[in-house]
Amino acid sequence: MQDKPNVHARPSRLVHTFSIVARDSESGELGVAVQSHWFSVGSLVTWAEAGVGAVATQAMVEVSYGPLGLALMRAGKSAPETLAALLAADENSELRQVALVDGQGRTAVHTGARCIAEAGHETGPGFSVQANMMANPTVWSAMAQAYRAADDEGDLAERLLRALEAGQAAGGDIRGQQSAAILIVKPVSTQRPWDDKVMELGVEDHPHPIRELRRLVHLHRTYQRMNRGDELLGAGQTEEALREYRAAAAMTPEIEELPFWHAVTLADIGRVDDALPIFHQVFARNADWAALLTRLPAAGLLRDDPEMLRRILGS
Domain limits of the chain?
13-207, 223-313
Strand partners of residue 143: none
pLDDT in tens, the chain (315 residues): 334 444 444 446 677 799 999 999 999 999 999 999 999 999 999 999 999 999 999 999 999 999 999 999 999 999 999 999 999 999 999 999 999 999 999 999 999 999 999 999 999 999 999 999 999 999 999 999 999 999 888 899 999 999 999 999 999 999 999 999 999 999 999 999 999 999 999 999 999 999 999 999 999 999 999 999 999 999 999 999 999 999 999 999 999 999 999 999 999 999 999 999 999 999 999 999 999 999 999 999 999 999 999 999 985
Classify domain 13-207 at the CATH topology level: Glutamine Phosphoribosylpyrophosphate, subunit 1, domain 1 (3.60.20)
Predicted structure pTM score: 0.92
Taking the CA atoms of 146, 150, 154 and 156 in sequence, report the sign of the dihedral they define. Answer: positive
CATH architecture for the domain at 223-313:
Alpha Horseshoe (1.25)
The H or E element that residue 109 is part of is strand 107-111
Q: What is the β-pairing status of strands 46-49 and 53-61?
A: antiparallel
3-class secondary-structure state, position 225: helix
